[in-house]
Amino acid sequence: MKKILNKLIPLAYGQYYNAYTWIAPEKAAESAFHTFSTVRKGKVKPEQADFLNGAKLDIEEVAGHQIQSYHWPGNKETVLLVHGWESNTYRWRNLIKKLRESDFNIVAFDAPSHGYSSGRHLYLPLYEEVVNHMVQKYDPKHLIGHSMGGMTIVYNQYKNPKDSVEKIITIGAPSQIQDFIDHFQDLLKLNNRVMKNLDNYIENRFGFKIDQFSTAEFAQSISKKGLLFHDRHDDITSYNSSVEVNKNWKDSQLISTEGLGHSMHQDDVNDQIISFLEG
């Protein structure tokens, strides 16, 4: 029954927007965008609380949100960790262990609507604003982002280049917003009129069209050292995303894996991250 509902509910939303767009196209587009950016999971679970509570640093006020930051102190350079969609800082637990053993100074945070942070929605421009706040405040030498977090740190370095940042690492990161939008359209069976109005809404609000947002394009202007991890069989984000970013990012290396999936918590991945940071 649950599986049937999971299929029928998106279709019901789609039929609603397909009809609503003829009556009030701008309002329909805004409502569709809110549905697209709604976060449904990622809050802190009981088994995650002990690990996170002991490292709470501050409540950061950014873009009308209360953002929970974390700190694991160390004597080496500061590393900023940026998690992905419907996750939270707990996803970094294995890497944090390795970083602490190597004495790095670690800063992390929960994205808006994730972990202990406030909100109901998340989208790239908002996430970039929060990342930029953290970069400006804590002045990290190294940025590490998983999935949407990886996409965001590349976008942030393109939009607000920071000279003191030396190395950037992405893990299973997408490149095109268009990929998410296409999936959203297919899931809800939205008609092209809805999608055109949604594209106009995004351009009016954020200053770019959907097909103009590409970290592969942004990477051309980045001069920092980059390390990209992506599994060839990643079923969440396309492996070709990192291939295209690597092609355009002059000083980057792509590490392709087989069978490690999207999350990539494995020791081998984390050991290579440490080696790259220390190299």
| Judgement on whether residues 95 and 158 belong to the same structural domain of the protein | yes
> Taking the model in full, what pTM does it have?
0.95
| Judgement on whether residues 137 and 238 belong to the same structural domain of the protein | yes
Give yes or no for a contact between 107 and 80, defined as CB atoms under 8 angstroms apart. yes
pLDDT of residue 5: 43
Give yes or no for a contact between 26 and 79, defined as CB atoms under 8 angstroms apart. no
| Judgement on whether residues 23 and 87 belong to the same structural domain of the protein | no
Residue 194 lies in a domain: yes
- Domain housing 256: 48-176+214-278
pLDDT of residue 28: 93
Residue 43 lies in a domain: no
Q: Beta-strand (E) ranges in 4-104?
A: 56-62, 65-72, 78-82
Distances (CA, A) of 264 to 79, 84, 93, 132, 249: 18, 12, 12, 25, 22
Q: What is the number of structural domains in the chain?
A: 2
Stretches where the chain sits below pLDDT 50 are 5
112: nearest Cα among 72, 59, 45: 59
| Judgement on whether residues 15 and 134 belong to the same structural domain of the protein | no
Residue 74's domain is classified under what CATH number? Answer: 3.40.50.1820
pLDDT of residue 10: 84
Enter the DSSP assignment of 189. T
Interval 174-194: pLDDT, tens? 999 999 899 899 999 999 999
Residue 144 lies in a domain: yes
| Judgement on whether residues 183 and 94 belong to the same structural domain of the protein | no
